[in-house]
Chains A and B, each alone.
Chain A
Amino acid sequence: MNDDYKGYRDPAKKVLIEHKVRVWSEVKMRTTRGHFEGTILPRSETSDAKHIVLKLANGYNIGILSDTVETIEEQSYKEAIYKIPEKEFPTDPKKPNIKLLGTGGTIASRLDYRTGAVIPAFSPGELYGSVPELADYCNLTTEKLFGVFSENMGPEQWIRLAEAIGEAIEAGTDGIVIGHGTDVMHHTAAILSFMVQDSPVPIVMVGSQRSSDRPSSDAALNLIHAVNTAGKSDIAEVVVSMFGPTSDQYGLLHRGTRVRKMHSSYRSTFRTIGDIPLAMVDREKITPLRSDYKKRRNDRRVKINTAFEEKVSIVYYYPNMQPDIIDSLIDNGYRGIVIAGTGLGHVNKPVYKALERAQKKGVAVYMTVQTLWGYVQMYVYETGRRLMELGVIPGANMLPEVAYVKLCWALGQTDDLDKVKKIMLTPIAGEITEREPYNGYLIYQGGIPEVEEFLRTIKR
């Protein structure tokens, strides 16, 4: 592979070739805007083709319009190598053995010149070098399963992940940490909650909202919280361990089927919906907030069930939705549809006839609520009762994304819609709860005096 003109296209590339310089050349450049000296850097492929990137001696980068270039003189050539201080991870027989499974995503990332973006590329070994505190908590072994952006996760990765978890448990690990991008972390957490049954050890998913190339990153602390949980906690479930508040204070352990990413960029983006989190975690301890979780065991009896039907869709209802939306799914051979309905679980009348058709074609249709908080209740209004007659099954308080992965999983196991219904409506991993606690739904409203007081004094 020729990286001499990494990311450059014509006309800038032509100018570099013409003047016999390449990426990493240290050059003196004469242009119509004056003289510039520096090192030629790779160019991001998504940037325009006209400019040459120069790193100046003071560390700044600038772009030079290739049209303005008169002469370029190469002074020397020195390729930069991005290196992370790698440390051999110390082992201590008294510490728990943790398996870190890598999937890509922000917790393991580095800068890439070609795209000008943060891409998943840290090897788990390099991770130790940047977070030496991990050795205070555990002995760590790592396995990089694949390197995909969070949004590119899918059944193939989920199945591989579930299998790897099973292998690690059988091999005797005391806890599992999964590094994962945050965008669809809650989808993965949910499907793993179904694919991995009766785990004897904690399965902790972790990521970061601020990439690890920056000093303010939450990656290191999240990782520390995750290994602390995996090694020490007695919560033998799939949990998401991410920042509680935006401050560097504590993390929260969210049950895999009740967690959701709720802000596009906040550190404290993950929230347990319709319930309270399982526990708080900091550098020292894990503080359970409830006791009804599955406990750690010494046996290795885990059940891995990676059944998955891909022909399932999620439909976010909006006013004036037309039946063709549902029809096109039926026509394309979809076997399951999860609707995120309004209010208690409703859609408008025009959609009815498409739902009737779905029922006839044997498509499994489940209702969830786009309010996210609260239960589906289809008896309250006539609309709901009519929808049930059309075969739409209320999904209780399953989150739409959770119902979606669960339906994929259920349809993967059987064609019998009654059996599917039984799987769907039987709580397996807390995805449906019998009661919503009074403190489960809390979205405080900024600006109100008592909330302001709370922000000033308690919330950090």
Chain B
Amino acid sequence: MKRSIGAGAAAGAFLLALALVPSPAFPVLYIDINAPGGKRMPIAVADCVVDPGDPSLSRGIPAILSADLALTDLFDLVPPTAHIETVTAAHFSGKPLSFPGWKMIGAEAVVIGNVSVRGGRLSIEMRLYDATRGTLLVGKRYTGTPTQLRSIVHRFANEIVFTFTGVRGVFGTEIAFTARPGKSRGKELYLVGMDGQDLRKVTANRSFNLFPRWSPDGQWLAYTSFRTGMPAVYLRNVSTGAEKEVVRTGGSKAPGGFSPDGVWLYAGVSQAGNSDIYRVRVVGGASEKVVVGWGLDVSPAPSPDGRRIAFVSDRGGSPQIYVKTIGVAGEARISTGAGYATSPSWSPAGDRIAYTVRSGGRFVVATVAPDGSGFREVASAPDGDCEDPSFSPDGRSLVYTYRKRGYSALKIISSDGRRQRTLVSGLADAGSPAWSPGR
């Protein structure tokens, strides 16, 4: 996750200043993201200046940005109908905004933008102001093609979240998942933006394409495909579509996740009917056994520091979640031992493991500390199953599968279980969601 030079400098200066202030709560931030239900930042996103270009961008860009900010519970958006001041090109060359006016309508922060489209070249300058002090908090100038508009706006939305919280936003990230297209009996890989936009099919070989897993650089998806008739694990470049096979030997096989340095791909692979956990060098293909023994061992999820994996084993009679330190003998069970517990996903901070557990005849999503303490149910439905959690790169949300008889959807819920929204619905048998790394 590269932070742009500009944001780095601004944030650096900001944090340096705080370091000079004696404060017991360093780092002190505008918005405490660990205080659910706390006060939100009132922010106004002004209509953009467009010259030259499609006049609808004037409202279109603030709409994209506002939709992003509204996905967090950090901001209160001051509605455009309340805005008094019209932003002009002069505001980008020295003319100050009328900050008391923005304060008067309740805005603590103001975003302005200046857009031009010339000869297929898109240029956007965006600025975030502190309305109380009338100072520029962060400003960025982006250039690209008009098709890159949305991702540019997502990037500035991430700057805004970073400025106020110290944690980069996840706008512009994507979720990979599987579903059955149309009336096909097969399953294909799909991608969708975390805002539910830009849904698209990735594979089209009409076989079973399963278990997408992101490489740490967000460039590759590992997945299992039956396109030759037998399962194999492939790596697919998300941008170019180039593929290479990484696991061919063995029976059933499913990628679990990459080591954080991207060197290893962990996978569950069956030999003679018994699945064990292996890791394969992404370059070179050499493999090592990581977890072997009686019982099905599947779904290896590496910890963010790469030292441990969480995985599923039915060695005790039913599938349960275990944690193992790589290279050290012994594995500790962290799920209760009762029922049916599968599909672990490690939080980016390494402090929680989300998984699917059967509870009262239903599957629910729960999280637990890596030592098995602090069990917390996060997502459940009285009339259906919640399964296959995957954390967002900022750790603040989880995407999971909701299923009720024939209906399926992907949903996103805040890690505390308080806020939930539907990401994708209307596709048959949607499942196995995997949230991409930060952008």
**Genuine A/B complex:** no
Q: Which of A's residues lie within 8 Å of B, judged by CB?
A: none
Q: Which of B's residues lie within 8 Å of A, judged by CB?
A: none
